[in-house]
A and B are shown apart, each in its own frame.
Chain A
Amino acid sequence: MMPMKRDIATAVLLATLGASAASAQSLVYCSEGSPEGFDPALYTAGTTFDASSHPLYDKLVEFKTGTTEVVPGLAESWEVSDDGMTVTFKLREGVQFHSNDQFTPTRDLNADDVIFSFDRQGNSENPYNSVSGGTFEYYESMSMPDLVESIEKVDDYTVRFNLTRPEAPFIANMAMDFASILSKEYADAMMEAGTPEMLNQQPVGTGPFTFQAYQKDAVIRYLRNEDYWGDPAKVEALIFAITPDASVRYQKVQAGECHIMAYPNPADVQAMKDAEDIVVMEQEGLNVGYLAYNTNMEPFDNPNVRKALNMAIDKDAIIDVVFQGSGEVAKNPIPPTMWSYNDAVEDDEYDPEAARAMLEEEGVTDLSMKVWAMPVQRPYNPNARRMAELLQEDFAQVGVDVEIVSYEWGEYLERSKAEDRDGAVLLGWTGDNGDPDNFLAVLLGCDAVGNSNRANWCHEPFDEVIQEAKTKSTQEERTPLYEEAQVIFKEQAPWATIAHSVVFMTMRPEVEGYVVHPLGGHIFNQVGLSE
């Protein structure tokens, strides 16, 4: 009886503290959904990262908020060997992990924590490899198992990654959410207590906020980490009010129940911009929506045919109708917020007459083709069916007959990979680590044919350039190579690049210091409230 009473007393005390914090300096964010859990390595959804890795954890290196630039995080500095095969991180000293009811750290962050954070993902012998379902999808999909040969502890504050090949994007990978650093001491303590799942449910990190409580599907509460090693958070408490409906989120912002919200209805954006006491921020998302031809199949193996079809597409109409203005025409396969974006590339001009003439020149008449439309809404394509219908009209203008097909989402993803697929596929991509390689190699490289390269396009001059860029370690060396790759891409036209979505953030005027993050996360570490 006694302990329970004490628990309640503590809770009431906390609640009173919470209440005063809520009235004084609490930032309330109306989030769009529930996190799957709080251990970022187990999940892949942005909503989960917003609630876990951003407020609670740090990584060895971080993306500077508002950019895709990589800056020091828990590692003060790092060194890449001349052959690119080893990367050595020097850790920051004096970084403390959070405490909670069950755990108080006895030591600062050191190399063991870093090694544990990765070892549990890659090593099936690690006791945490199978905890909480044990699927580390991002670790897998960034090819970490093939890439990392071993991780060494050089001393307490130095960790060395031995790689199997030089890989320039590796540093950017270390800034991704799956690379969040967890406490080995906490993990060991929970394993000993027989509750290893606490790592995922009662998170302990080094981040600017500490975890207070989560009521499933309703509210997540965080308190400022007063011992944070970096710039402390501006507000005392951060609260996520989980609000799945976009119209309701906006009502809550208007009523003052939330300070800030993500993902407004595109149709409401204009009214929000017109409203006096509402601020709307916008930026292109780190994504691209495209139509991938199957370059294996006649007549789409002919670049001129693909180019002619691209010229038949009225992209402005698609932006108006499908994106309702919340999109921007794409000319390159990477978004404009990404470094090495080649703005000198010119988009194929919309010209149905010329397109028709070009098709005739190539001897293509009476062409009929399939266009695949995804059954789901994605950030890069809010309504694929509607987009396909617009393409159908556009292609009809140049004498090409289009049949629209669709499958259930899982089937769609599987079937669209087939190298002998009949038809062009609508799909897209949202970037993971802000590195151009994450678009160009993953979506257009020869290795990805039959998988994420839906155009089945293996073009040697292009592939050589992106492979070379991978082996260079500085951005200055890599940029001209990626710029060249974009020129080759445009000439060869394996896709029709259609749009990059525009992301909006809606907030009350008292919110200060919010920066839209090009990688898509919602980060409140340096956001304050004016009196």
Chain B
Amino acid sequence: MLNYILARILTFVPTFIGVTLISFGFIRALPGDPIVVMAGERGLTEERYAELSAQYGFDQPIWIQFWDYLTGVLRGDLGQSFVTKRPVWDEFFALFPATLELSICAMIFAVVLGLPAGVIAAVNRGKFFDRALMSTALVGYSMPIFWWALLLIIVFSGILQWTPVSGRIDLLYFFPDPTGFMLIDSLASGQSGAFLSAVRHLLLPTIVLGTIPLAVIARQTRSAMLEVLGEDYIRTARAKGLAPGRINGIHALRNALIPVITVIGLSVGTLLAGAILTETIFSWPGIGKWMVDSIFRRDYPVVQGGLLLIAVMVMLVNLTVDMLYGVINPKIRKR
């Protein structure tokens, strides 16, 4: 197992270098000069342009710029945002907990509902429940997020007034946020009602962000289960009279989990980086919106640094998924 993990970690190195190169090249490949964009309609003189170019290091050959960036990254320095003039690290860590909290909740929502739904649909293959579930999943998968979000806001916040419209907590509450996770900080603050308010604020964004992964997980679980349910050993188990609950729950589900976990792992990556629409609509202060704004502003250090950090997160999630395969399937562990 240890060798397996070490081997996986070794593959990090080339991936990491590749990611720095791509993140560096990607934003520069886009047309548009950050200095010109910054000046807008106002424009600037040639001298001022040269001055700013020198300040940002754009007057250096591209390979020197990359070298400076790469050595900076290895020293743990991701540079400073052109726009806010603050270190990229600070910005990332101010925003990342919000994204992570929302992603975790959305993932729990998707797994807790998606796994059983997929199993039940597979067991009742072709029956009404299966069809209803799978059509719903297809709708969920194809729904435009912004539309779905606004619909939920209008119904639950506007008409029924059950949930707040947006934000992370009622503005009435104000306390230090050492962890950045609102659920934890609100509990730690000891202010009555704060935790409940944080939960209420999480509900709609969790549902919106979790909808697509929920649909994907349900469909994936169903098809993996169907495949396993057709295997010989399941037929054997049935023949020897094992209870259906035991067959489905232990023998079938465990073997069906491998592709499902792969999908979950991939979804985590999407959730971390792909929450942009959800974050924008619910005024959720996370990294998705931060990245997109930075691309429009050609804020090179933020885009490079942000991409790199997100890539590292996704790599870590994949490593975890790989290790989970080992836990579920001893054959992989021993290989």
Residues of chain A at the chain B interface (Cβ within 8 Å): 7-8, 11-12, 14-15, 18-19, 22-23, 26, 28, 36-37, 42, 44, 132-135, 137, 140-141, 197, 200-201, 213, 215-219, 221, 239, 241-245, 247-248, 251-252, 254-255, 257, 378, 407-411, 413-414, 417, 427-430, 451-452
For residue B10, CB closer than 8 A to chain A, the reply is no
Q: List 17 A-B contacts (CB under 8 A).
A: A18-B174, A36-B85, A44-B38, A133-B82, A141-B43, A141-B44, A218-B285, A244-B280, A245-B283, A251-B158, A408-B30, A408-B32, A410-B31, A410-B32, A410-B298, A411-B32, A413-B36
B165/A257 in contact, CB under 8 A: yes
Task: Specify the chain A residue showing the minimal Cβ separation from B168.
Answer: A218
Q: Given A26-B171, A200-B85, A244-B289, is A215 in contact with B36 using a C-beta cutoff of 8 Å? A: no
Which residues of chain A come closer than 8 Å to B191, judged between CB atoms?
12, 15, 19
CA–CA, A135 to B49, complex, Å?
11
For residue B166, CB closer than 8 A to chain A, the reply is yes
Main secondary structure of the interface of B (DSSP, over half): loop
Q: Given A11-B176, A413-B41, A452-B41, is A133 in contact with B281 using a C-beta cutoff of 8 Å? A: no
Q: Which of B127-135, B149-157, B310-318 is near enough to bind chain A?
A: B149-157
Separation in Å of the B168 CB from the closest CB of chain A? 6
Q: Given A133-B80, A255-B164, A428-B41, is A15 in contact with B174 using a C-beta cutoff of 8 Å? A: yes
A239/B171 in contact, CB under 8 A: yes
Separation in Å of the A481 CB from the closest CB of chain B? 24
Which residues of chain A come closer than 8 Å to B166, judged between CB atoms?
243, 245, 248, 251-252, 257
Separation in Å of the B300 CB from the closest CB of chain A? 13
Q: Determine which of A134, A217, A242, A427 lies in contact with B41 in the assembled complex, contact meaning CB atoms within 8 Å.
A: A427
Q: Given A255-B164, A257-B164, is A244 in contact with B84 using a C-beta cutoff of 8 Å? A: no
For residue B86, CB closer than 8 A to chain A, the reply is yes
Q: Determine which of A18, A218, A243, A413 lies in contact with B40 in the assembled complex, contact meaning CB atoms within 8 Å.
A: A413
Task: Specify the chain B residue showing the minimal Cβ separation from A254.
Answer: B158
A248/B281 in contact, CB under 8 A: yes
Which residues of chain B come closer than 8 Å to A28, judged between CB atoms?
171
Separation in Å of the A198 CB from the closest CB of chain B? 12
CA–CA, A44 to B82, complex, Å?
13
Which residues of chain B come closer than 8 Å to A239, judged between CB atoms?
171
For residue B24, CB closer than 8 A to chain A, the reply is no
A452/B43 in contact, CB under 8 A: yes
B173/A19 in contact, CB under 8 A: yes
B172/A217 in contact, CB under 8 A: no
For residue B83, CB closer than 8 A to chain A, the reply is yes
CA–CA, A343 to B45, complex, Å?
34
Which residues of chain B come closer than 8 Å to A7, judged between CB atoms?
176
Q: Determine which of A26, A252, A410 lies in contact with B37 in the assembled complex, contact meaning CB atoms within 8 Å.
A: A410
B189/A12 in contact, CB under 8 A: yes
For chain B residues 257-286, which have a beta carbon within 8 Å of chain A? 280-283, 285-286
Most buried by B among A28, A413, A430: A413
B86/A408 in contact, CB under 8 A: no
For residue B16, CB closer than 8 A to chain A, the reply is no
CA–CA, A411 to B298, complex, Å?
13
Known: A15-B174, A257-B164. 4 other contacts (CB 8 A): A36-B83, A218-B167, A378-B41, A413-B40
B80/A414 in contact, CB under 8 A: no
Task: Specify the chain A residue showing the minimal Cβ separation from B286.
Answer: A217
CA–CA, A218 to B99, complex, Å?
13
Which residues of chain B come closer than 8 Å to A408, judged between CB atoms?
30-32
B33/A242 in contact, CB under 8 A: no
A15/B171 in contact, CB under 8 A: no
B281/A216 in contact, CB under 8 A: no
Q: Given A255-B164, A452-B42, is A245 in contact with B85 using a C-beta cutoff of 8 Å? A: no
CA–CA, A239 to B31, complex, Å?
38
A248/B165 in contact, CB under 8 A: yes
Separation in Å of the B197 CB from the closest CB of chain A? 12
For residue B52, CB closer than 8 A to chain A, the reply is yes
Which residues of chain B come closer than 8 Å to A215, judged between CB atoms?
94, 177, 285
A132/B167 in contact, CB under 8 A: no
Q: Given A15-B175, A255-B165, A413-B41, is A36 in contact with B31 using a C-beta cutoff of 8 Å? A: no
Which residues of chain A come closer than 8 Å to B177, judged between CB atoms?
215
CA–CA, A141 to B52, complex, Å?
14
Q: Determine which of A200, A217, A247, A411 lies in contact with B95 in the assembled complex, contact meaning CB atoms within 8 Å.
A: A217
Task: Specify the chain B residue showing the minimal Cβ separation from A11.
Answer: B176
Which residues of chain B come closer than 8 Å to A14, judged between CB atoms?
174
Q: Given A11-B176, A251-B157, A254-B158, is A132 in contact with B282 using a C-beta cutoff of 8 Å? A: no
A44/B40 in contact, CB under 8 A: yes
Separation in Å of the B76 CB from the closest CB of chain A? 18
For residue B161, CB closer than 8 A to chain A, the reply is yes
CA–CA, A307 to B30, complex, Å?
39
Which residues of chain B come closer than 8 Å to A15, judged between CB atoms?
173-175, 189, 191
CA–CA, A430 to B85, complex, Å?
25
Separation in Å of the B104 CB from the closest CB of chain A? 18
For chain B residues 4-42, which have a beta carbon within 8 Å of chain A? 30-34, 36-42
CA–CA, A42 to B80, complex, Å?
14
Separation in Å of the B78 CB from the closest CB of chain A? 15
A23/B172 in contact, CB under 8 A: yes
B43/A413 in contact, CB under 8 A: yes
CA–CA, A14 to B34, complex, Å?
41
Separation in Å of the B35 CB from the closest CB of chain A? 8
Which residues of chain B come closer than 8 Å to A429, judged between CB atoms?
41
For residue B3, CB closer than 8 A to chain A, the reply is no
Which residues of chain A come closer than 8 Å to B280, judged between CB atoms?
244-245
B282/A248 in contact, CB under 8 A: yes
Which residues of chain B come closer than 8 Å to A245, judged between CB atoms?
166, 280-281, 283
A137/B39 in contact, CB under 8 A: yes
CA–CA, A44 to B30, complex, Å?
24
Which residues of chain B come closer than 8 Å to A217, judged between CB atoms?
95, 285-286, 289-290
Which residues of chain A come closer than 8 Å to B167, judged between CB atoms?
218-219, 241, 243, 257
For chain B residues 108-164, which have a beta carbon within 8 Å of chain A? 150, 153-154, 157-158, 161, 164
B283/A243 in contact, CB under 8 A: yes
A22/B32 in contact, CB under 8 A: no
Which residues of chain A come closer than 8 Å to B84, judged between CB atoms?
36-37
Q: Determine which of A22, A36, A244 lies in contact with B172 in the assembled complex, contact meaning CB atoms within 8 Å.
A: A22
Separation in Å of the A458 CB from the closest CB of chain B? 17
B36/A414 in contact, CB under 8 A: yes
B43/A247 in contact, CB under 8 A: no
Q: Given A44-B40, A245-B280, A257-B165, is A19 in contact with B285 using a C-beta cutoff of 8 Å? A: no
B86/A19 in contact, CB under 8 A: no
Separation in Å of the A309 CB from the closest CB of chain B? 23
CA–CA, A26 to B170, complex, Å?
13
A255/B36 in contact, CB under 8 A: no
Which residues of chain A come closer than 8 Å to B246, judged between CB atoms?
none
CA–CA, A416 to B190, complex, Å?
58
Q: Determine which of B83, B95, B157 lies in contact with A216 in the assembled complex, contact meaning CB atoms within 8 Å.
A: B95
- Nearest first, the 7 closest Cβ-Cβ pairs linking A and B are A217-B285, A410-B32, A133-B85, A218-B285, A132-B85, A410-B36, A18-B174
CA–CA, A26 to B157, complex, Å?
22
Which residues of chain B come closer than 8 Å to A201, judged between CB atoms?
86
Q: Determine which of B31, B85, B282 lies in contact with A37 in the assembled complex, contact meaning CB atoms within 8 Å.
A: B85
Which residues of chain B come closer than 8 Å to A134, judged between CB atoms?
55
Task: Specify the chain B residue showing the minimal Cβ separation from A214.
Answer: B94
Contact pattern, B 30-73, Cβ under 8 Å of A = 1, otherwise 0: 11111011111111110010001001000000000000000000
A19/B174 in contact, CB under 8 A: yes
Which residues of chain A come closer than 8 Å to B36, judged between CB atoms?
410, 413-414
